[in-house]
Amino acid sequence: MRYSNVDFNHKTILITGGAGFIGSNLAFYFQDNYPHAQVVVLDLFRSNLTLSNGNLKSFGHFKNLLGFTGDVISGDINDKVLLAQLSNQYKFDYIYHEAAISDTTALEQDLMIQTNVNAFVDLLDMAVAHNANMIYASSGATYGDAPSPQRVGREAPQNVYGFSKLMMDHTAQRYARNYPNISIVGLRYFNVYGNREFFKAKTSSMVVQFGHQLLSGKNPKLFEDSDKILRDFIYIEDIIQANILAAAPKESGVFNVGTGKARSFQSMVDILQRELGTSYTCEYMTNPYIGRYQFHTEADIATTQEILGYAPQFEFEQGIAAYVPEIKRLFQEELS
C-alpha cells in the first residue's frame, strides 16, 4: 500500500539503522512499492558487544533483511570516514535516520550523546550537501512522565536516551531554520510493536513477549493494577505511514506518532489471549518502578494529522490480530 503521492522511483534513499526494527520495515516498503528506487541500508549489525547493563549495543540483524535486494553496508554512524565515503559514492534524495543507541536503560551517557546527537549533526550536514530531505526517529521518551496527552513543547526527559532525542530535535529545528530548501522532520514514536522487532530481545514490545509467554503455556505476569497502566501502542504499519508522509511535509518540524488513544497492559493480554485461543490466569506482581514509571502515555497527534496528513489505521485489536501470525512463526522457528 502506498501512503504518499511522492514517487520514490529513481530516487536514492539512505536508511541508517536499516537492519533494525523500523529501518528494515522501511527498506521493504520502498522495495515493494518502488522497485526502481535505490535503497541503501547502513547498520552497525550486532556483535558480541554489550552495554554495561548487559544488553546488546546493536540490535541490527541480517534476518530482518532476508529478501532485501538493495545495498547493505555494515558500519557505525560515528565513523566520519565512512560517512564521507557514502557521501562521495551516492547522491541521496532522502535520508531516513533510524540508527541510535535506543536502550532507555543504558548508562553510557557519553556513547548515547556521541551516537544519537553528535553523529546526527554529521548526517544533517550530509542532507544539506545532497539537498536531501531528512526524516529521523525522535521518541516519546522526550516527554518523561509529562501528563497526557503529550504535546510537543512539554518535554521532561527522565533518562539520557530521552535527553539525547530532545537534543536531536533542537538541532533539527535549528538546521530547518538555516536550510529551508530541504525538509527536516522528527517523528516521536510512542510504543511501537510489530514485525521485525523480535531481535531487539529484551527491549522488544510486551506484545511479542506476552505472546510468547502464552504460547509457552505460561501464565502472563503483569504488574498490579495493569488495567490502570496505559500506553499509546502503535502498530508498525502506522509508523511506516508517518515516515512516508514525512518525506514531503507541508513544513519541517517535530511530530508525535501514536494512535492518540491510550490502552492498558491488561487489554493487551486480553486481546492476545482471544487471538491465540488461550485462557491462562494472569499473575500480578508488585510494581518496583513506582516513582520512576510512566502510568499513562497518549500522543497528541493533531499537528501530525494537519501537517503530515497522518491518520492511524490500526486500533490495538487490529494491530495485534495482524501481528499474531508472525508471533506464532517466531515462536516456532526462533524459540523452539
**Residues annotated catalytic, as ranges:** 161, 200
> Are the CB atoms for 29 and 244 separated by under 8 Å?
yes
What are the start-end ranges of the H helices in 102-159?
A: 109-113, 119-130
> In which residue are the cell numbers 542532507 written?
127
CA 14 centroid distance within chain: 16
Closest alpha carbon to 40 in 1, 98, 118: 98
| 103: number of Cβ within 10 Å | 20
The amino acid occupying position 186 is G
217 exposed, middle or buried (CB, 10 Å; 0-12, 13-18, 19+)? exposed
The amino acid occupying position 89 is Q
Read off φ and ψ for residue 183, nearest 5 degrees.
-100, 145
- Distances in Å between the alpha carbon of 233 and those of 140, 209, 278? 11, 14, 22
Alpha carbon distance 144, 80 (integer Å) = 32
Q: Which residues of 117-151 are buried (b: 16+ CB within 10 A; e: fewer)?
A: bebbeebbebbbebebbbbbbbbbbbbbbbebbbb
Closest alpha carbon to 237 in 41, 72, 33, 100: 33
The amino acid occupying position 185 is V
Alpha carbon distance 261, 92 (integer Å) = 36
User: Is the backbone peptide bond immediately before 220 cis, with ω within 30 degrees of 0?
Assistant: no
Which 8-state DSSP code applies to residue 50? Answer: B
